[in-house]
Amino acid sequence: MKIIIIGGGIGGLTTALRFHQAGFEVKVFESVKEVKPLGVGINTLPHSVRVLTNLGLQGILAKNAIETTDLVYFNKFGQQFWTEPRGRFAGYKWPQFSIHRGTLQMILWEEAKRVLGEERLIANHHLARFEQDETGVTAYFTNRETGENSRVETGELLIGADGINSVVRQQLYPNEGPPVYSENVLYRGTTRMKPFLNGSSMAMIGSMQQKMVVYPIDPTPDADGNYLINWVGNLKEGKSRLTARDWNREADKARLVDIYKEWTFDWLDVPAMINGAKAVYEFPMSDRDPLDRWTFGRVTLLGDAAHPMYPIGSNGASQAILDADYLAECLLTSENVVDALEAYDKERVPAAAKVVLQNRAKGPDQIMDMMEERFPQGFTPDEIPHEELANVMDHYKKIAGFDVQTLNQKK
Ligand SMILES: Cc1cc2nc3c(=O)[nH]c(=O)nc-3n(C[C@H](O)[C@H](O)[C@H](O)COP(=O)(O)OP(=O)(O)OC[C@H]3O[C@@H](n4cnc5c(N)ncnc54)[C@H](O)[C@@H]3O)c2cc1C
């Protein structure tokens, strides 16, 4: 079976590797001329690391990522109110990795090149549109720089893994319009600095009004013993000037340092961390309403094209990887492509929709607002509602498909 994958991001590349492993013939078409390591930090949770492990990638990931040991929550005064072990430290069979998005994409790209062959990864080909009938799909590509038609490709199945501004989704849902803006702006950067907490922790500070997420993403220190630390500030800015999602738009660093100037704790100096970044990128936090179906005939959606979500709970990349794995299983176990896509939709459409909606309802970070609302001036240790916080955290893990008992039963 000839399969056309649109998009060489985390979702498209994992799909290519997983399909190749399952014995299918795939080609990946990517818009950009040259795939470069763009973005900042990203997390892969144990349920998706299971898939990457089965593709033989755990070793290379471990060399290039931080194995996250714990997730720790603090209020805006730097007081800790929640900590939990993560990945193998929480009893999962698979680790949680914090990694630079670009590093993860390049690992997948190089592996796909190695196992599929370079000729099956086709950069500089932007999908313009597709047509389909009962027997197959035809994809029409352009060169984005010149605008010229560059290629026509036919196959039996087309997968739109082309991100939040998916052309495939737009053709399937022509009236949908742009992503839905959350009125929050994300400020993302990386800084070389000394490790904080135990050196492999992920820290969440503040509330949804003003938040900072901080974690290391590279296990190799520089000559001065500094590590690459990823951070994301979240500011509720209401109707913002930012609407278009551009991952690479630079922000005003001095303004951000000023907003966070009080956040100097004995375990982390937030303004110094922001100041130490080479560049700060701003990005409107947005998603799309969940769809009832991703599949139409021989065409389906995957990853951000299917279910873009707020980056809360570290699930964006992981859910794309889960899609890839499940779709391969469906193709292996169904009689034909159409049945396989139906089975894929039946399982993954509602599963991903739940995560999108949970993230809109602040996902695990609800506990930050619970603490801020109850204790705006800080708390004493005996005031922490441990059980209530635990319920929120456990609920999210079940919704997002990574509660430890269920996951550990898988191979
Ligand atoms: C440049 C960039 C930087 C990012 N940085 C971060 C980050 O720092 N932190 C974070 O949490 N998430 C980041 N993300 C999003 C994150 O990668 C996704 O949320 C998640 O990994 C799901 O991946 P995906 O493959 O579905 O989508 P994406 O990673 O968005 O990949 C989609 C791919 O499809 C390609 N594409 C788009 N349209 C077409 C077309 N018509 N024809 C062919 N190819 C097409 C794109 O160039 C891209 O490579 C970034 C995405 C991009 C594209």
Please state the domain extents for the chain.
2-37+101-178+291-360
Taking the CA of residue 305 as reference, the ligand 1 atom at the shortest distance is 26
Residue nearest to atom 37 of ligand 1 (CA): 162
* Rounded distance from Cα 212 to ligand 1 centre (Å): 23
Judge contact between 198 and 240, C-beta under 8 A. Answer: no
pLDDT at 245: 67
* Rounded distance from Cα 126 to ligand 1 centre (Å): 14
* Rounded distance from Cα 9 to ligand 1 centre (Å): 5
* Rounded distance from Cα 163 to ligand 1 centre (Å): 5
Query: Which of the 8 DSSP states describes residue 179?
Result: P
* Rounded distance from Cα 166 to ligand 1 centre (Å): 10
Residue nearest to atom 50 of ligand 1 (CA): 39
Q: How, if at all, do strands 299-301 and 157-160 pair?
A: parallel
Taking the CA of residue 40 as reference, the ligand 1 atom at the shortest distance is 8
SS3 label, residue 286? strand
Dihedral angle sign, alpha carbons of residues 223, 229, 230, 235: negative
CA 344 – CA 324 distance, rounded (Å): 10
pLDDT at 34: 86
Residue nearest to atom 6 of ligand 1 (CA): 39
- Residue 72 CA: distances (Å) to CA of 197, 216, 271, 274: 9, 13, 19, 20
pLDDT at 241: 64
The dihedrals phi and psi of 87, each to the nearest 5 degrees, come to 55, -135
**Residue of 29, 108, 304 with the most ligand 1 atoms within 8 Å of its CB, for mutation:** 304
Taking the CA of residue 43 as reference, the ligand 1 atom at the shortest distance is 11
Q: Apex CA 245: angle with CA 368 and CA 261, to 5°?
A: 45
* Rounded distance from Cα 315 to ligand 1 centre (Å): 14
Instruction: Please measure the distance between the N-terminal and C-terminal CA atoms of the chain and give it in whole angstroms.
Output: 26
* Rounded distance from Cα 170 to ligand 1 centre (Å): 16
Q: Rg of the chain's alpha carbons, rounded to an integer?
A: 21
As separate numbers, helices (DSSP H) first and strands (DSSP E) second, the chain gives 12, 18
* Rounded distance from Cα 235 to ligand 1 centre (Å): 23
pLDDT at 173: 98
pTM of the predicted protein model: 0.95
Compute how many other C-beta atoms are within 10 angstroms of the C-beta atom of residue 57. Answer: 19
Residue nearest to atom 27 of ligand 1 (CA): 163
Q: How, if at all, do strands 25-29 and 137-142 pair?
A: unpaired
pLDDT at 243: 62
* Rounded distance from Cα 403 to ligand 1 centre (Å): 27
Q: Which CATH class is domain 2-37+101-178+291-360?
A: alpha beta
CA 112 – CA 5 distance, rounded (Å): 13
SS3 label, residue 173? coil
Residues with CB under 6 A from ligand 1: 6-12, 29-32, 38-40, 42, 101, 126-127, 161-163, 167, 188, 247, 303-304, 311, 316-317, 320
pLDDT averaged per 10 residues in sequence order, the chain, 411 residues: 96 98 96 84 95 97 97 97 96 96 96 96 97 96 90 97 97 94 92 96 96 96 95 89 72 96 97 96 92 97 97 90 97 95 97 93 93 97 96 89 88 91
